[in-house]
């Protein structure tokens, strides 16, 4: 692994962890597109799944007493059905198709975040549907945050409850996704090496995020993240051309 590649992985994953910690969303959306331009896009998805487990565990553990476990169970119930299907998609789809699908998923996520769409429905049906798509996108493109967010918004959780509950959902869903990737032979040497390189930067991004989170206006950082997501989507489309 060359020095330039190591630097790219460190910067990408460090910033993704920082963004997730400060804004409360977006690790995979910030990490997968740029990682997919410096390593194989399928490996980038697997690397992001592993790192999302760790990052979500660190975020969720510190506020674990605020997690709404009823919502977590409902979302995971739906995710069980989506996870295998996503693995089929990522296995069969060519790299160019994955890049295009990833770009579309990014643009949809940005539209969702800009409009602030909320589900007005209540009950487990919304959470099971959200969980299904969360599972599908975990093993498919690892852009699993928006479906979980839409489903959880129906519960009207406070911000203090919302962040650790989302972290628990994404972390546990990604853990199952990682097991499926390993069973399918997707956790290869390249993925392991990239994860080892990325881990220190991810830990630094998380710590810095915790330190500066109280000092950064959420609206300002959210705007920056949205701009970066748009740039990532366009770059991913360019890479697919």
Could you report the per-residue pLDDT of 70-89, keeping only the tens digit for each? 999 999 999 999 999 988 88
Mean pLDDT of 154-172: 82
Q: What percent of the chain has pLDDT over 70?
A: 91
Provide the whole-model pTM: 0.82
Q: How high is the mean pLDDT of the chain?
A: 84
What is the C-alpha separation between 135 and 32, in angstroms, rounded?
A: 16
Q: How far is CA 99 from the centre of its chain?
A: 16
Question: According to the model, what pLDDT value does residue 132 have?
Answer: 93
Question: According to the model, what pLDDT value does residue 80 have?
Answer: 93
Question: According to the model, what pLDDT value does residue 93 have?
Answer: 82
Mean pLDDT of 130-151: 83
**Cβ-contact 129, 74 below 8 angstroms:** no
Question: According to the model, what pLDDT value does residue 155 have?
Answer: 75
Residue 182: is its pLDDT beyond 90?
A: yes
pLDDT, tens digit (0-9, with 9 covering 90-100), for 185-237: 889 999 999 999 999 999 999 999 889 878 877 667 667 767 777 877 787 78
Residue 121: is its pLDDT beyond 70?
A: no
**Cβ-contact 1, 39 below 8 angstroms:** no
Using left for φ > 0, alpha for ψ between -120 and 50, and beta otherwise, residue 156 falls in left
Question: According to the model, what pLDDT value does residue 188 have?
Answer: 92
Mean pLDDT of 144-150: 77
Query: In this predicted model, which residue has the larger pLDDT, 218 or 50?
Result: 50
């Amino acid at each position: 692994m060359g020095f330039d590649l190591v630097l790219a992985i460190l910067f990408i994953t460090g910033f993704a962890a920082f963004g997730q910690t400060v804004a409360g969303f977006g690790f995979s959306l910030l990490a997968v597109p740029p990682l997919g331009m410096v390593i194989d896009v399928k490996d980038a998805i697997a690397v992001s799944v592993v790192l999302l487990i760790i990052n979500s565990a660190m975020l969720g553990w510190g506020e674990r007493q605020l997690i709404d476990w009823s919502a977590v169970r409902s979302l995971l119930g739906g995710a069980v059905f989506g996870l295998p299907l996503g693995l089929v998609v990522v296995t069969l789809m060519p790299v160019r198709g994955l890049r295009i699908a990833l770009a579309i998923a990014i643009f949809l996520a940005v539209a969702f975040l800009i409009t602030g769409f909320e589900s007005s429905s209540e009950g487990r049906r919304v959470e099971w549907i959200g969980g299904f798509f969360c599972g599908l996108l975990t093993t498919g493109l690892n852009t699993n945050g928006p479906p979980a967010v839409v489903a959880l918004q129906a519960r009207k959780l406070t911000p203090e409850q919302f962040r650790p509950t989302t972290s628990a959902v994404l972390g546990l869903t990604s853990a199952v996704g990682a097991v499926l990737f390993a069973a399918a032979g997707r956790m290869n040497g390249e993925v392991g090496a990239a994860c080892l390189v990325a881990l220190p930067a991810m830990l630094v991004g998380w710590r810095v995020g915790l330190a500066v989170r109280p000092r950064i206006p959420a609206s300002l950082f959210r705007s920056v993240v949205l701009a970066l997501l748009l740039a990532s989507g366009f770059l991913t489309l360019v890479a697919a051309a």
